[in-house]
Structure 1
């Protein structure tokens, strides 16, 4: 029956393996043993375990794929009753994440299934944190003028510990090349003085620290903080603001401490 159903290719292989005797003169067990040893030769147990020990999780490889590969390699290692123990040890040792491995090492007694469940939980927590961070970053960058004012406000905080200036103890940032308008009122000038400042981010008449395009990326140079129309790579004819950089100007005068965002030509 075996010879009848194996097909022409397998029967031809049997004839070659049994030569000079015909396959019909062999017993069933003898034919199965001959074909099995030829198609799937017995592997070296030491060599298979060596390959198993060398397996490590690759960067970016999901834990389930890594575990599946370990199980496949362990199938030829003949671990018998020690299969889960060897899987646990190699699974933890080959983790690419040092933090995840250290967390599992903190458990004095942990079984194979518990180690896998803990690692999967840590992996899910990391992915959730990455997704949450990406959503928060996208929300902040797309917040428009409100987000720009909050970000720039860190660099333009000006405060007085005492009185003076006639504006409730708060002084405005000073811009290079311009005198403080309004004399000693400390109020920052009127609408004409505000309109005189051209924004180097978008070109409109307002202060750069109030511009809503502070978190936009330039389509020309891909740098954050200005539009393509104001990019120095495009607007070479008018480079009043080209090549300027931000720096923090710290000015202290007795009880006053000012921090302002200013621009300086190269």
Structure 2
């Protein structure tokens, strides 16, 4: 972000059948200056014990003149990295997994690590799972603050988790965690699924919103802009009106883009470049 002009970042989710360097090369050719790193193991391996050589990422940044502005670790079912993990050994693994993600972001001088509440088993008490999640999140927020990395939590859709789906859920969760280093990632997919708006988010959280997963949908789907029913210019105007200061990441995850992911990114950035603030 430079001044009050919003900037976008590409994400590698839909580039999963190409190499990480293919993704960086594609982002550079499409005119991106920033990317958000999703920790898909086919691109950059990360678990609770280890992670790939960060120097690889630094070399790609330098070679393609692109900055990694954030880290988005894998963390939804069936991934093992559940913020609401139930058993002690599992909780230890989850803590060290996210600790490693925070360390990677620190070494890269990134702006944030995106997190979620995790998920509960459908046969257990949701409040107990939410409490476990908040306790884990507080520990990680404390560690991330030491490392100078904010955590940005996004709501999830009900098919992913029942713990935090709405603005009201996010408010309650922030109070439960009670740590200033936990911020908000506005995910337009989860927002649309909850029948909420960008205005609703900013009226509730204001400057605590530090990141945005900026995608089209019908109303959801994490699609490239132009393939859903959202109006990018209207959304950008609202973000501009609220003086949004974070990045807009094109978190495209729909499998329709796996064969030619660069074309989806191209559509997004071309539409963004046509927008001019009112």
In which range does the TM-score fall when normalised by the shorter chain?
under 0.3
Normalising by structure 2, we get a TM-score of 0.20
Which is strand-richer, 1 or 2? 2
Name which structure has the greater RCO, CA cutoff 8 Å, separation 6+. Answer: 2
Compare CA radii of gyration and give the structure with the larger one.
1
Please give the TM-score of this superposition, normalised by the length of structure 1.
0.21
